[in-house]
């Protein structure tokens, strides 16, 4: 395994601006995201945190009228100029707000990523599926129903399956877009434990609606408001001694 | 525990990356190839349609360019006597067929529309459970019954019946054609109307009931006006289907080259004349060319129907 | 009070009217179907079920199914690709708009016009001669819009997150289409195919000038190179059931019972396919 230095930065974003048509959705965002840490984005709905997250693996490319300028460097390489979006998405995986398994079996869901990357050998796929499901802490629950449809699983299981599916692609970064907002408290805590476990091997960036969640799991937190990053700091610091008045207002529940 | 797995796979991953560049190029070539193929499919459909239009224009315009007849003669005269050879010199007034088509289709619409809209209201508003489970599937099946079967039953059942009831020499008539067509387009209108009634928001009905309306009042005053454009589209679709129907009409219309004088007279329509004469006519003759012109007219009419549907179902501007 | 009572009265009358309409058509349609089927079979003689040159329906039944099969070989690939193009690749613009208009035009074309076009292109232009292939190609023109629209609707009807999830895993657009979207909407595409097939079975006007009448099959001749009598040969004339009904009128002296039976068989085919479509 490649040794990772402390304070090693995975993403280096500078002067990022994003427009949807006439709407200025992200305003001059500058941020460095630490490797092997969990970075949380918080802020009221519509503040641009999800949009920013999706920029990191270029899912915004799918949106019409979306114009992006500025630099996003992944390990020093510009994701817009020096990389194609497919390679980028292999390296930067994503877990969505709603669990979104394919209408296929559990096994086929997890094997999907490796398969499209060209792995055909059954033994190799078997191993990847098992490893990914174990990493996502769902192997014991699902090992007997690998060939059953994934749509029959509970919401929490589906979401962990989706995480396993992302892990199977062997990404370096996992983006999570409010991964627990559709889940019950027990499933939520399972996903949170999982995220903390996974940060040993992955860099995790998570959008969350829930400030307690950010406090519980994240190392760094960024507070977004109206498309701007108001404050970005160590989670503990941001929540205990916020530097900006607006951050303080938000985390104390004065608006949001 | 999974660290073991992870290290193991790291090696795989590296081996994957090594082969990656070649594979990547391959992947993008594939991507473009497939996109090209799908686009080609779309373009081919366009090409077929243009081809049909172009061939019909090319063939159908001969009446006016080669044989020198005027459009007014074709559309406005009842004098139908084209020569079956390339010299021409006959007459090509197609008014009889146009009137025949209009009469039979108009009659079919008159008969079918009230019933079709009524049955659509029944299956959505009055008895939605029974409607969804039994009635609608049956109506849908009847949209799929071949037109020759309708024609055949019309010929063997309806015509003798008309003859008997109205004491006629022949049962073949505009009335028979209208009834057969009405039965054929009934499911089309009914289905489209049902869809558009179904898509009227529930709130409208709730609002109407809340103001003390009876069910009929809410249907008549709120639901039908709200579903109006959809119902109209259904009627036009039905009309288009009736206009294009050939064989079922040919079986019951009596095939006489004369303007219809009433419900019980025999006549011909555009489609029935094409169906009956095309096979006998000489290639390149005036007769065949005139028949092509009639086919062109049918093509233009179906375009017109599409435009009408677009016009009626366009998004309303006053909504905002 | 009076007005309310009147409104109630009208409401009851209209409800009755709607029930009457429904009952009327329900019985009419069921009666129609049973009449056609019962009449077809009561007038039938055992010889009619044979595969003979004259006076039976066996060959026509075979031709009908074979013709629809061949036509689907053309219309499914083309219809599905065009549907995928519309749902996944088409950008908003003139070309897409035009393609939609083309599909609508094709779907509302009178089938006799399509038949004439087929006659002109396949017979006059390519010199095919009246043949099963020419008929199948004409029928496939009628089937393309049905299959294209159902494919497009099926893909658009899928939850949007399938595509997102797949792209998020680093799949290309085509990989997502091929591995996720198409498998997920195959049932609905099949519905469109069945619908198109059902229409193909009953098509007559489009075949009138393309497939010809008469069908002389030798069921022991499986040599594709001996043109007219090998059943699988697609360059031979092929009368279908619907043409047999139509032809019964043209040829004096043909037994109407034969046409009745053809109609009954067609009706059964349509019913089977409609039931298949609903499941």
- What are A24-57's pLDDT values in tens digits? 999 999 999 999 999 999 998 888 899 999 999 8
Asked if B9's CB is within 8 angstroms of A131's CB, the reply is: yes
Could you tell me how many CB contacts below 8 A there are between chain A and chain B? 33
Secondary structure class of C167 (helix, strand, coil)? helix
| Local confidence band at B9 (pLDDT 50, 70, 90 cut-offs) | very low
- Find, in chain A, the residue whose alpha carbon is nearest to that of B28: A86
Closest Cα in chain B, distance from residue C146 (Å)? 12
- Give the number of other CB atoms < 10 A from CB of residue C277: 19
Closest Cα in chain B, distance from residue C55 (Å)? 18
The average pLDDT across A215-222 equals: 93
Candidates A59, A91, A99, A103: best to mutate against C (most CBs of C within 10 A) is A103
Q: What is the pLDDT of residue B22?
A: 57
Residue B71, class by beta-carbon neighbours within 10 Å (0-12 exposed, 13-18 middle, 19+ buried)? exposed
The average pLDDT across B147-153 equals: 91
Is the minimum CB–CB distance between C219 and chain B shorter than 8 Å? no
Is the minimum CB–CB distance between C182 and chain B shorter than 8 Å? no
Percent of chain B surpassing pLDDT 90: 42
| B280 chain-C contacts, CB cut-off 8 A | none
Is the minimum CB–CB distance between A119 and chain C shorter than 8 Å? no
Q: How far apart are CA B249 and CA B267, in angstroms?
A: 10
Asked if B49's CB is within 8 angstroms of C14's CB, the reply is: no
Give the phi and the psi of residue C236 in degrees, each rounded to 5.
-105, 155
Closest Cα in chain B, distance from residue A83 (Å)? 12
Is the minimum CB–CB distance between A129 and chain C shorter than 8 Å? no
Asked if A59's CB is within 8 angstroms of C169's CB, the reply is: no
Q: How far apart are CA A74 and CA A83, in angstroms?
A: 10
Q: How far apart are CA B113 and CA B110, in angstroms?
A: 6
Asked if A100's CB is within 8 angstroms of C165's CB, the reply is: yes
Q: What is the pLDDT of residue B318?
A: 46
β-strand A23-34 against A9-20: which pairing, if any? antiparallel
In chain A, residues 207-236 whose CB comes closer than 8 Å to chain C: none
| C98 chain-B contacts, CB cut-off 8 A | 46
* Cβ proximity of A170 and A92 under 8 Å: no
Residues of C152-169 as b/e, b for ≥16 C-beta within 10 angstroms? Answer: bbbbeebeebbbbbbbbb
Candidates B23, B28, B30, B42: best to mutate against C (most CBs of C within 10 A) is B42
Asked if C179's CB is within 8 angstroms of A112's CB, the reply is: yes
Q: What is the pLDDT of residue C225?
A: 64
| Local confidence band at B141 (pLDDT 50, 70, 90 cut-offs) | confident
Q: What is the pLDDT of residue B105?
A: 95
Asked if C78's CB is within 8 angstroms of B44's CB, the reply is: yes
Is the minimum CB–CB distance between A165 and chain C shorter than 8 Å? yes
* Cβ proximity of B251 and C118 under 8 Å: no
Q: A204 or A1, which is more confident?
A: A204
What 8-state DSSP symbol labels residue B155? I
Of residues C88, C195, C204, nearest to B147 (C-beta): C204
Q: Nearest Cα to B269, choosing from B80, B73, B99?
A: B99
Q: What is the pLDDT of residue C252?
A: 55
| Local confidence band at B7 (pLDDT 50, 70, 90 cut-offs) | very low
* Structural domain boundaries in chain A: 6-101+171-251
Q: At what angle do helices C256-278 and B136-143 cross, to 10 degrees?
A: 130
* Structural domain boundaries in chain C: 43-277
* ipTM of model over 0.90: no
- Average pLDDT of chain A, as a whole number: 89
In chain C, residues 50-89 whose CB comes closer than 8 Å to chain B: 77-78, 80-82, 84-86, 88-89
Asked if A170's CB is within 8 angstroms of B13's CB, the reply is: yes
Asked if A86's CB is within 8 angstroms of B7's CB, the reply is: no
Q: How far apart are CA B145 and CA C268, in angstroms?
A: 10
Contacts with C142 (C-beta within 8 Å, 6 or more apart), sequence order: C106, C109, C111, C114, C196, C199, C200, C203, C206
| B147 chain-C contacts, CB cut-off 8 A | 202, 204-205
Asked if C165's CB is within 8 angstroms of A96's CB, the reply is: yes
The average pLDDT across A197-210 equals: 91
Secondary structure class of A220 (helix, strand, coil)? strand
Asked if C173's CB is within 8 angstroms of B31's CB, the reply is: yes
Closest Cα in chain C, distance from residue A112 (Å)? 8
Q: How far from chain centre, in Å, is Cα A250?
A: 23
| C33 chain-B contacts, CB cut-off 8 A | 141, 145
What confidence tens digit (pLDDT) does each residue in A142-162 have?
999 999 999 999 989 999 999
What 8-state DSSP symbol labels residue C125? I
Contacts with A205 (C-beta within 8 Å, 6 or more apart), sequence order: A11, A33, A38, A39, A41, A53, A56, A173, A174, A175, A176
Q: Nearest Cα to C235, choosing from C57, C70, C26?
A: C70
- Spell out where B63-157 has E strands: 80-81, 91-92
Q: What is the pLDDT of residue B131?
A: 85
Considering the four listed CATH numbers 3.30.465.10, 3.30.460.10, 3.40.50.300, 3.40.190.10, the one that applies to the domain covering A6-101+171-251 is: 3.40.50.300
Q: What is the pLDDT of residue B51?
A: 93
Q: How far apart are CA B174 and CA B119, in angstroms?
A: 25
| A112 chain-C contacts, CB cut-off 8 A | 166, 169, 171, 179-180
What CATH class is the domain C43-277? mainly alpha
- Average pLDDT of chain B, as a whole number: 85
Q: C153 or B90, which is more confident?
A: C153
Residues in chain C with pLDDT < 70?
1, 214-216, 220-229, 248-254, 279
Asked if B1's CB is within 8 angstroms of A170's CB, the reply is: no
| B7 chain-A contacts, CB cut-off 8 A | 1
Q: What is the DSSP string of B222-288?
A: IIHHHHHHHHHHHHHHHHHHHHH--HHHHHHSB--SS---STT--B--HHHHHHHHTTTSPTTSHHH
- Give the number of other CB atoms < 10 A from CB of residue B160: 11
Q: What is the pLDDT of residue A11?
A: 92
β-strand B80-81 against A228-234: which pairing, if any? unpaired
Asked if B247's CB is within 8 angstroms of C108's CB, the reply is: no
Please tell me the pTM assigned to this model: 0.85
Question: What's the token pair of residue B10?
Answer: 């790291």
* Cβ proximity of B52 and C109 under 8 Å: yes
| B24 chain-A contacts, CB cut-off 8 A | 84, 86-87
The average pLDDT across A198-217 equals: 91
Of residues A119, A124, A134, nearest to B5 (C-beta): A134
Radius of gyration of chain B (CA): 28
Could you tell me how many CB contacts below 8 A there are between chain B and chain C? 246
Q: How far apart are CA C213 and CA C210, in angstroms?
A: 9
Q: What is the pLDDT of residue A117?
A: 83
| C141 chain-B contacts, CB cut-off 8 A | 48, 52
What confidence tens digit (pLDDT) does each residue in B179-202 have?
999 999 999 999 999 999 999 888
* Residue ranges in A84-229 assigned as alpha helix (H): 85-91, 106-116, 122-135, 139-142, 155-167, 185-198, 211-217
Asked if A57's CB is within 8 angstroms of C184's CB, the reply is: no
Asked if C104's CB is within 8 angstroms of B31's CB, the reply is: no
Secondary structure class of C57 (helix, strand, coil)? coil
Q: What is the pLDDT of residue C250?
A: 62
Q: What is the pLDDT of residue C224?
A: 64
Closest Cα in chain A, distance from residue C189 (Å)? 16
What confidence tens digit (pLDDT) does each residue in A54-97 have?
999 888 877 778 889 899 999 988 998 888 888 898 899 999 88
Candidates B97, B151, B152, B156: best to mutate against C (most CBs of C within 10 A) is B152
Q: What is the pLDDT of residue A6?
A: 45
Is the minimum CB–CB distance between A63 and chain C shorter than 8 Å? no
Contacts with C182 (C-beta within 8 Å, 6 or more apart), sequence order: C84, C189
* Cβ proximity of B249 and B177 under 8 Å: yes
């Amino acid at each position: 395994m490649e040794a990772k230095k402390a304070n090693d930065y995975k993403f280096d974003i500078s002067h990022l601006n994003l427009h949807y048509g006439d709407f200025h959705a992200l305003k001059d965002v500058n941020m460095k995201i630490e490797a092997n840490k969990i970075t949380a984005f918080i802020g009221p709905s519509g503040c641009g945190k999800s949009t920013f997250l999706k920029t990191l693996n270029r899912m915004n490319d799918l949106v019409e009228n979306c114009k992006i300028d500025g630099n996003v460097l992944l390990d020093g390489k510009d994701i817009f100029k020096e990389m194609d979006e497919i390679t980028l998405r292999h390296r930067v995986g994503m877990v969505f707000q709603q669990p979104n398994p394919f209408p296929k079996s559990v096994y086929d869901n997890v094997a999907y990523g490796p398969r499209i990357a060209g792995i055909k050998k059954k033994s190799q796929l078997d191993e990847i599926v098992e490893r990914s499901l174990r990493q996502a802490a769902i192997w014991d629950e699902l090992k007997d129903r690998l060939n059953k449809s994934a749509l029959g699983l509970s919401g929490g299981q589906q979401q962990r399956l989706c995480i396993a599916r992302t892990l199977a692609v062997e990404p370096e970064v996992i983006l999570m877009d409010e991964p627990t907002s559709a889940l019950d408290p027990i499933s939520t805590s399972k996903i949170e434990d999982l995220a903390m476990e996974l940060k040993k091997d992955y860099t995790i960036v998570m959008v969350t609606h829930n400030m307690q969640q950010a406090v519980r799991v994240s190392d760094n937190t960024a507070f977004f408001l109206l498309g701007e990053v108001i404050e970005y700091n160590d989670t503990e610091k941001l929540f205990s001694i916020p530097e900006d008045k607006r951050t303080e207002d938000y985390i104390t529940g004065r608006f949001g | 525990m999974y660290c073991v797995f992870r290290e193991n796979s790291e090696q795989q991953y590296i081996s994957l990356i090594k082969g990656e560049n070649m594979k990547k190029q391959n992947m993008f070539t594939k991507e473009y190839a497939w996109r090209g193929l799908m686009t080609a499919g779309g373009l081919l459909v366009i090409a077929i349609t243009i081809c049909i239009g172009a061939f019909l224009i090319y063939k159908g315009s001969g009446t006016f360019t080669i044989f020198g007849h005027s459009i007014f003669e074709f559309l406005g005269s009842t004098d139908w006597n084209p020569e079956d050879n390339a010299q021409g010199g006959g007459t090509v007034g197609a008014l009889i067929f146009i009137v025949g088509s209009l009469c039979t289709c108009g009659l079919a619409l008159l008969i079918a529309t009230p019933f079709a809209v009524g049955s659509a209201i029944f299956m959505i508003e009055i008895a939605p459970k029974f409607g969804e489970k039994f009635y609608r599937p049956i109506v849908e099946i009847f949209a799929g019954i071949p037109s020759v079967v309708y024609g055949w039953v019309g010929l063997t059942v309806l015509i003798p019946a008309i003859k008997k009831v109205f004491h006629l020499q022949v049962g073949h008539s505009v009335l028979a054609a209208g009834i057969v067509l009405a039965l054929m387009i009934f499911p089309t209108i009914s289905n489209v109307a049902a869809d558009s009634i179904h898509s009227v928001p529930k709130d409208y009905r709730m609002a109407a009931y809340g103001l003390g309306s009876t069910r009929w009042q809410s249907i008549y005053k709120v639901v039908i006006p709200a579903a109006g454009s959809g119902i109209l589209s259904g009627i036009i679709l039905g009309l288009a289907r009736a206009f294009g129907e050939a064989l079922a009409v040919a079986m019951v219309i009596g095939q006489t080259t004369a303007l219809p004088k009433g419900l019980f007279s025999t006549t011909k329509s555009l489609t029935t004349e094409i169906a009956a004469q095309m096979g006998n006519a000489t290639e390149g003759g005036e007769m065949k060319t005139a028949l092509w012109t009639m086919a062109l007219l049918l093509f233009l009419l179906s375009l017109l129907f599409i435009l009408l549907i677009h016009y009626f179902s366009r998004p309303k501007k006053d909504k905002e | 009070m009076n007005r309310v009572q009147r409104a109630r009265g009208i409401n009851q009358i209209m409800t009755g009217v709607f029930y009457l309409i429904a009952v009327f058509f329900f019985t009419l349609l069921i009666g129609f179907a049973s009449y056609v089927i019962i009449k077809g079979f009561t007038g039938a003689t055992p010889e009619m079920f044979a595969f003979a040159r004259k006076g039976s329906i066996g060959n026509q039944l075979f031709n009908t199914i074979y013709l629809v099969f061949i036509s689907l070989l053309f219309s499914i690939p083309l219809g599905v690709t065009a549907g995928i193009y519309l749902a996944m690749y088409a950008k908003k613009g003139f070309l897409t708009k035009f393609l939609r208009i083309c599909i609508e035009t094709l779907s509302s074309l009178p089938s006799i016009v399509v038949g004439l076009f087929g006659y002109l292109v396949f017979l006059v232009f390519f010199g095919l001669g009246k043949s099963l292939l020419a008929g199948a190609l004409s029928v496939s023109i009628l089937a393309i819009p049905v299959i294209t629209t159902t494919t497009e609707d099926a893909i658009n009807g899928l939850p949007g997150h399938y595509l997102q999830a797949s792209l998020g895993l680093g799949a290309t657009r085509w990989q997502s289409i091929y591995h996720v979207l198409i498998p997920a909407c195959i049932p609905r595409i099949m519905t469109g195919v069945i619908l198109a097939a059902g229409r193909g079975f009953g098509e007559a006007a489009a075949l009138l000038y393309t497939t010809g009448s008469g069908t002389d099959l030798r069921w022991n001749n499986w040599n594709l190179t001996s043109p007219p009598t090998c059943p699988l040969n697609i360059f031979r004339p092929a009368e279908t059931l619907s043409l047999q009904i139509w032809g019964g009128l043209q040829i004096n002296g043909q037994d109407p019972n034969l046409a009745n039976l053809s109609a009954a068989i067609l009706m059964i085919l349509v019913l089977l396919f409609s039931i298949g479509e609903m499941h």
